[in-house]
Amino acid sequence: MAKVSEKLIQLINEQIRAEYESAYIYLEIANYYEEQGWYGFAGWFNKQYKEEVEHAEKFIKYVHEQGYKVVLEDIRAPRNTYKDLREPLAKQLEHEELVTSLIYGLMDQAVADKDYRSQSFLKWYVDEQTEEEEHSHELIELYDRYSVDPIGMIKLDKKLGKRVED
C-alpha cells in the first residue's frame, strides 16, 4: 500500500490544530451570546463548536489509519471582542473562508503527491467547507432580515435554538 507522504501528514497535523482553534472561536462566540441571554444563538454556536471537534477527530483517525503519529500543537486562545450581535456572524464567515483555503492547501499536496486515497478522504472536507460557507452567509442574511425589529430578533433566536433540538 502506497504510503501517504510525511509532508501531507505534517499539514494534517497542523490542520488538527486549526480545527480545535475553530472550535475555540465558536465556543467563545457561544459564550458571548449565552452571557447576553441569546440562548438560541448560543446553542447554534455550541453546535458549531462540537462539529469542529469532530472535524479534528476525523483527521486524527485518518493519521492513525495511515500508520503515522499525531502531533498535537498548542491551541491559541481566541480573544475576540464583538461590539454587536452581528459581528460574530461576520467573524464566522471570515474564519470559514480561511479554513477553506487551508483545506485546499491539503488537497493541493495530495494532488501533487498523486495520493488518490487522501484526495478521496479530503473531498469530504472540501464539500463540508462549501456547506459551512453557505450556512455562514445564510445566517448573516437571516440576521439582517430579522434584526430590523426587536420582536424579529426574539423570533430568530428561537429559530436558531431549534437547530440544537434537532
In the complex, which residues of this chain contact Fe ion (CB under 5 A)?
A: 19, 52, 55, 132
Which residue, 19 or 157, has its beta carbon nearer to Fe ion?
A: 19
How far the first Cα of the chain sits from its last, in Å, is: 41
- By C-beta, is 38 or 59 nearer to Fe ion? 59
Q: Running DSSP on this structure, what letter comes out for residue 84?
A: S
Q: Which is nearer to Fe ion, 67 or 105 (CB)?
A: 105
In the complex, what is the shortest distance from the CB of residue 150 to Fe ion, in angstroms, rounded to a whole number?
30
Residue number, 55 or 91, with CB nearest to Fe ion: 55
Task: Name the minimum Å distance from CB 19 to Fe ion.
Answer: 5
3-class secondary structure, 5: coil
Ranges of H-type helices in the chain: 6-35, 39-65, 87-112, 116-146, 150-165
Residue nearest to Fe ion (CB): 55
- Tell the smallest beta-carbon distance from residue 24 to Fe ion (Å): 12
Alpha carbon separation from 150 to 6, 84, 153 (Å, rounded): 53, 14, 5
**Nearest distance in Å: CB 99, Fe ion:** 6
Nearer to Fe ion, 19 or 28 (CB): 19
| Distance between CA atoms of residues 45 and 117, nearest Å | 32
Question: Please, are residues 97 and 31 in contact by the beta-carbon 8 Å criterion?
Answer: no
Cα distance between residue 10 and residue 14, in whole Å: 6
Instruction: Tell me how far, at minimum, the Cβ of 132 lies from Fe ion, in Å.
Output: 4
Query: What is the DSSP-derived secondary structure letter of residue 86?
Result: T
